[in-house]
Structure 1
Amino acid sequence: MSRIQADKHVCEGIGMCEAQADAYFQIGDDGLVDVVQDDVGESDRAHVQAAVDSCPVSALRMQS
Structure 2
Amino acid sequence: MSDTQWRLEVDRHTCISSGMCAGVAPDHFELESDGSHALVDVVDQDEAVIDAAESCPVEAIKVFMAGSGELVAPVD
Where on the TM-score scale, by shorter chain, does this alignment land: which range? 0.7 to 0.9
SS at match of 1:48: helix
Q: Which runs of 5+ in 2 are unaligned?
A: 66-76
Q: Please give the TM-score of this superposition, normalised by the length of structure 2.
A: 0.74
Tell me which amino acid in the other structure corresponds to 1:50.
Answer: D
- The total of aligned residue pairs comes to 61
Is the Cα contact below 8 Å between 1:11 and 1:59 reproduced in 2? yes
Is the helix fraction higher in 1 or 2? 1
Q: Partner residue of 2:58? A: 57
Structure 2 residue 39 is matched with structure 1 residue 36: yes
Q: Please give the TM-score of this superposition, normalised by the length of structure 1.
A: 0.87
1:29 is displaced (CA, Å) by: 2.9
RMSD: 1.0
Separation in structure 2 between the aligned mates of residue 4 and residue 52 of structure 1, nearest angstrom = 9
Q: Partner residue of 2:8? A: 4
Is the strand fraction higher in 1 or 2? 2
Structure number with greater Rg is: 2
Separation in structure 2 between the aligned mates of residue 29 and residue 56 of structure 1, nearest angstrom = 18
Tell me which amino acid in the other structure corresponds to 1:34.
Answer: H
Percent of matched pairs sharing the same residue? 33
Moved over 6 A (4+): none
